[in-house]
Amino acid sequence: MKNLLYFAFTLLAFSAFGQSAERQPGNRHAGQILVQLEPGQPFERVFAYEPGFRLKNIVAADWNMLLLEFDEKPGEADAVMARVNQLPGVQFAQWNHQASSRDNPPNDPSWSAQVDMDLIGMAQAWDATTGGVMFTRDSVRGDTIVVAVLEEGYLITHPDLTPNLWHNWDEIPDNGIDDDNNGYVDDYTGWDPQTGSSGPGNGSPHGTSVCGIVGARGHNNLGVAGVNWNVQMMVMTHAAIDESEIIAAYYYVAKQRRRYNETNGADGAFVVATNASFGIDNGKPAQHPLWCAVYDSLGKVGVLNIGATANANVNVEVVGDIPSTCGSAYLVGVTNVNANSDQKSLNAGYGAVSIDLGAPGDGTFTTGKSGNNPSYVTFSGTSGATPHVTGAVALLYSMDCPTLASDALTNPANCALRFKELLLKSAKPNSSLEGITVTGGRLDVAAAVDSVRADCGGSSGPLAIQRIQPNPVYNVLEVRYETPNFKPYQFRVFNMLGQLVFEDEILPEEYGEKIYRWDDAYLLPGGVYIASFHQGRAYVAKKFVKI
């Protein structure tokens, strides 16, 4: 009878968990299980008759997620998991896996510096915004936009990164006290779930390069520029290996954003996106229910999550991948295209359901480290592709379009999905991604910026005078025009002898219709005139009649 019961339990484990521990992809910690208890179920009650399990730590209190440990013996893993899954009060259980970083070292040292930024139209996008704040509640001060970067570590002293590192100014560093009463001690520049404080982690070159793509300080006569010149990066160190620490880091981010929402921006942090340039090859959502569940929880408070797919030419819908196949509406799966050829890398995963778009990975030039010294390096893989998308999300939030982000506090989940839709619908069609990604396209930040403008009633296009009205003019002249950028132009009026009769400097409207109004046109004598716009070598003119 005992043999039959053991066999039944084992079958339940396979059906509930997918496959045996010995055949699961990714490394797991022997003797460590992540569990999510049903609401109101304390650990002591659920495991009252299971003395072999010990509570190692509480991973995410509000989500009822715990990390358990036990003394694992050879060959018993499946039976133990089956027993835990059947305990009353246990909602989900899984092994505590280890993830691996998803960089793919470049093999072509002659790649040009930052060709990746040219590919996605950053020069054009920076004409509209270089990141920084979102003007929702305060049209003067704005709200500082934050991106959470989950990594093993980074070089905290890199001069291209330090100006853009997020700080919890209500916390006094290294005093061992939770100064702001947010439940975390010494979380001054982020949080490290391994040490229980903030810090650079292991000083990882991987994290240093990822941070540089998201937000190396731009226009500072130093090194490189990230997608965002002014975004604040909340770097979560030791948050890209053990699954329990990954979840705990995401939980910290969720609590900070939720606190921001609930206090109308007085406390917490306005985190709009997270970056995960790591994962587990061949992982299935059924094996990682707790990890996958965090993305919906983050989405509810307004955080969009960007995740790298595998560095292998595989269909992740078939072979699996974590986190990119988790299936949350608040998760954007990213694959890697070569910044020089604009074609999907041969070493990059794909999936028509889970992988939303491509972004430049191979051929990226970014911040790095040599020993403990700052440097600049080529970087590649889906690890390099993902932070381009993360940075782009935060950049769109910084555009001065209150109607688009007015509900960032009141309806943060819908606001996050709106920005995801803008980003994905503006992806540039790419033949190497067609049919194997959701959009069939590659990240195009310039086009995404134009999409935001269009939604806010603005536009950009070739320099042109579209209409002069009325024509003939009597008193007031209105000139409807279009410009490719939003820098100052000279508006000039000449008579037919070529003499300048009027001049004014104008700054094109980024949002709304571009119309120049000249109230003193009635002062002109009757005759034929030429109205013109001039900027550098760009020039356009059109005749009008004054009567």
Q: Taking a C-beta distance cutoff of 8 angstroms, is the pair 423, 345 a contact?
A: no
Q: For residues 467 and 516, give the distance between their C-alpha atoms in angstroms, rounded to a whole number.
A: 11
Where in the chain is CATH 3.40.50.200?
101-455
pLDDT given at position 401: 78
What residue type is 405 in one-letter code? A
Where in the chain is CATH 2.60.40.3080?
464-546
Residues 507-517 as b or e (16 or more Cβ within 10 Å = b)? ebebbeebebe
pLDDT given at position 166: 95
Using DSSP's 3-state secondary structure scheme, residue 412 falls into: helix
Q: At what angle do helices 382-397 and 445-455 cross, to 10 degrees?
A: 20
Give every CB contact of residue 413 below 8 A, 6+ residues apart in sequence: 299, 300, 301, 302, 330
- Which DSSP letter does residue 424 get? H
| Distance set, CA 40 to CA 49, 62, 91, 108, 294 (Å) | 18, 11, 12, 56, 19
Tens-binned pLDDT, residue by residue, of the chain (547 aa) = 333 333 333 333 333 333 455 555 558 899 999 999 999 999 999 999 888 999 999 999 999 999 999 999 998 999 999 999 999 999 999 999 988 776 554 343 333 578 999 899 998 888 888 888 765 544 444 578 999 999 999 999 999 999 999 999 999 999 999 999 999 999 999 999 999 999 888 888 999 999 999 999 988 888 999 999 999 999 999 999 999 999 999 999 999 999 999 998 889 999 999 999 999 999 999 999 999 999 999 999 999 999 999 999 999 999 999 999 999 999 999 999 999 999 999 999 999 999 999 999 999 999 999 988 999 999 999 999 999 999 999 999 998 777 777 788 889 999 999 999 999 999 999 999 999 999 999 999 999 998 888 877 666 678 899 999 999 998 999 999 988 877 889 999 999 888 999 999 998 876 667 899 999 999 999 999 999 999 888 899 999 999 9
- The DSSP bridge partners found for residue 477 are 518
* pLDDT tens-digit map of 405-422: 778 888 999 999 999 999
Give every CB contact of residue 383 below 8 A, 6+ residues apart in sequence: 101, 102, 103, 104, 206, 209, 210, 277, 278, 308, 311, 361
Residues 29-60 as b or e (16 or more Cβ within 10 Å = b)? bebbbbbbbeeebebeebbeeeeebeebeebb
| pTM for this entry | 0.79
Supply angle C-alpha 233, 450, 458, rounded to 5: 115
**Which candidate, 514, 513, 507, 546, places its Cα nearest to that of 528?**
546
pLDDT given at position 8: 33
Q: Alpha helices of 86-181 — where are they, by DSSP H?
A: 115-119, 122-125
CATH of domain 101-455: 3.40.50.200
pLDDT given at position 1: 30
CATH of domain 464-546: 2.60.40.3080
Is beta strand 271-276 parallel, antiparallel or unpaired with respect to 304-308? parallel
Where in the chain is CATH 3.30.70.920?
2-97
Q: For residues 385 and 367, give the distance between their C-alpha atoms in angstroms, rounded to a whole number.
A: 15
Hey, what are 132's tokens?
A: 């920084």
Element at 180 (helix H, strand E): none
Q: For residues 289 and 297, give the distance between their C-alpha atoms in angstroms, rounded to a whole number.
A: 13
- Which DSSP letter does residue 225 get? -
**Which candidate, 64, 63, 43, places its Cα nearest to that of 55?**
43
CATH of domain 2-97: 3.30.70.920
Length of the chain: 547
Hey, what are 104's tokens?
A: 């793919």
**Which candidate, 316, 406, 399, places its Cα nearest to that of 355?**
316
Q: For residues 178 and 86, give the distance between their C-alpha atoms in angstroms, rounded to a whole number.
A: 38
Q: For residues 179 and 510, give the distance between their C-alpha atoms in angstroms, rounded to a whole number.
A: 42
- Which DSSP letter does residue 5 get? H
Q: Taking a C-beta distance cutoff of 8 angstroms, is the pair 321, 344 a contact?
A: no
Q: For residues 479 and 325, give the distance between their C-alpha atoms in angstroms, rounded to a whole number.
A: 52
pLDDT given at position 19: 45
Hey, what are 143's tokens?
A: 């709200």
